[in-house]
Amino acid sequence: MLRKRRSTTTRAAAALFTAAVCGAAFGAAVYWAYSNAYGGTKKDDEDEDEEEEKRRVEKTTTETTETTTGRASGATTTVEDAIVGASGGTGVEPTTERTTLRAEKGAALAASAALDVKDTRYVVETYESLELAFAQAGLDPRALTPREFFHFATYPEVGCWPREHAKAGLPKDAARLVVLTMEEAPAIAAAVQSVVRELVRLVGATTDTFVPGRGSLHVTLFHVSRTFDYVATPVKCAADGANGRGTATLPPTSGAVEDAIAYEESAIADALHGCGACELEVDRVCMAPSGCLLLCFKDVRGNVQSIRERLRDKAIGSSKKQNETVHCTLARMFPKPGSSPLDAETIRAIAMMCARVTSALRGARFTAQHAVYCVEERYGCVDGKRCRIKL
């Protein structure tokens, strides 16, 4: 009986041990399965997150590239449309000529944009700054008219006057410009003669002063070529054609300077046709730090601005530097070699002289019905070949 009980107990213990082992094995299997399932899911989630981040970055990069390309393309289209629209074209280019036309139009735009044409609505601020600069510091040696363009007399001669461009080593067509002459404003031209005489009296001991004749008084509208920025004749002009606005202008076949000037004169006259008369109003008379006594005007109707813009767009090869103001130069001062700068009393006297004349003339107006294209022979004198152009 005892042996039977022991056998039963042994079998129970073995069964319990077997069950424990099986339970442990089952638990381990469950834990392994759970770990694999969770770990695989986590790894898959991480992989999916990485793939999603990669797709997001690629999408962002693609959109940025497309946006940048679209903006650049849109800007190009805008520039081309502006040029073609200005010439009356449709803005649609033949595919076979696209590259050539774009190059021509780009050149035309770049050339016209490079011309320094200021807005005449702001000329008064410029006059005020010039007037103040002279009152505070007198003449600026760096801004004076170059002496090499003038002849200065030696005893027994007196005075100074401009040299001919040819004798100064410049081309005969070095200075070509479009002006309004003061011949259309005789009353104003006569009224400013007194201030010129007064200036000569005030500074005669220390400076040489050039006073242009009344027939040489003018208001410069546009510089086609300047002595310090020479442009060969004829200037390159914008030409409207069937394919839009280009820059090719055929020069005269003979190659003679006279023929080239005639060709340029015709192109300028064509550009000015229909611009309308210019009405100018006296703003002030002032001395600039450059030593120039200036009769300063306002552009009443804005036609001076229109003419400058018209010539900027037509004569695209012209000198880059254009006048900021609407003025007539009444006199030019040159300090004598070895002389002292103007003293404070002389500067004050000149400023008061200008103020008195300004008080008498401010508001006076004149209307110019014609412009003049001139090939200047001597600096600042508009004394060479002239062509009178109806505005």
- Per-residue confidence of the chain (391 residues) as pLDDT tens digits? 434 444 555 565 555 555 555 555 555 554 554 445 444 444 444 455 555 555 654 555 455 444 444 443 443 333 333 322 333 333 333 444 444 444 444 444 444 456 778 899 999 999 999 999 999 999 999 999 999 999 998 888 888 999 999 888 899 899 999 999 999 999 999 999 999 999 999 998 899 999 999 999 999 999 999 999 999 999 988 876 544 444 445 555 566 888 899 999 999 999 998 999 999 999 999 999 999 999 999 999 999 999 999 999 999 999 999 999 999 999 999 999 888 999 999 999 999 999 999 999 999 999 999 999 999 999 999 988 999 999 9
Quote helix, strand, coil % in the chain, to nearest 5: 50, 20, 30
Cα distance from N-terminal residue to C-terminal residue, the chain: 145
Q: Distance (Å, rounded) from C-alpha 240 to C-alpha 84?
A: 9
Q: Encode pLDDT of 326-350 as tens digits.
A: 999 999 999 998 889 999 999 999 9
Residue 178 DSSP symbol: E
Which residue type, as a one-letter code, is found at position 252? Answer: P
Residue 303: alpha-carbon gap to chain centroid = 20
Secondary structure (H, E, C), 293-350: EEEEEEECCCHHHHHHHHHHHHCCCCCCECCCCCEEEEEEEEECCCCCCCCHHHHHHH
The position carrying tokens 């300047």 is 226
> What pLDDT was estimated at residue 74?
41
Tokens of 31: 């834990």
The full length of the chain comes to 391
How many other β-carbons are positioned within 10 Å of the β-carbon of residue 311?
27
Distance between CA 196 and CA 191 in Å, rounded? Answer: 10
How far apart are the C-alpha atoms of 355 and 349, rounded to whole Å? 10
What the block records as the tokens of 359 is: 């008080």
Cα 45 from Cα 23, distance rounded (Å): 32
CB 334 within 8 A of CB 209: yes
pTM, whole model, 2 decimals?
Answer: 0.69
pLDDT digits 0-9 by tens, 219-267: 999 999 999 999 999 998 887 654 444 444 555 556 688 889 999 999 9
Residues 322, 307: Cα–Cα separation, whole Å: 13
Contacts within 8 Å (CB) and 24+ apart, 349-352: 349/202, 350/134, 350/199, 350/202, 350/203, 350/287, 351/131, 351/134, 351/135, 351/287
Q: How far, in Å, CA of 294 to CA of 218, rounded?
A: 11
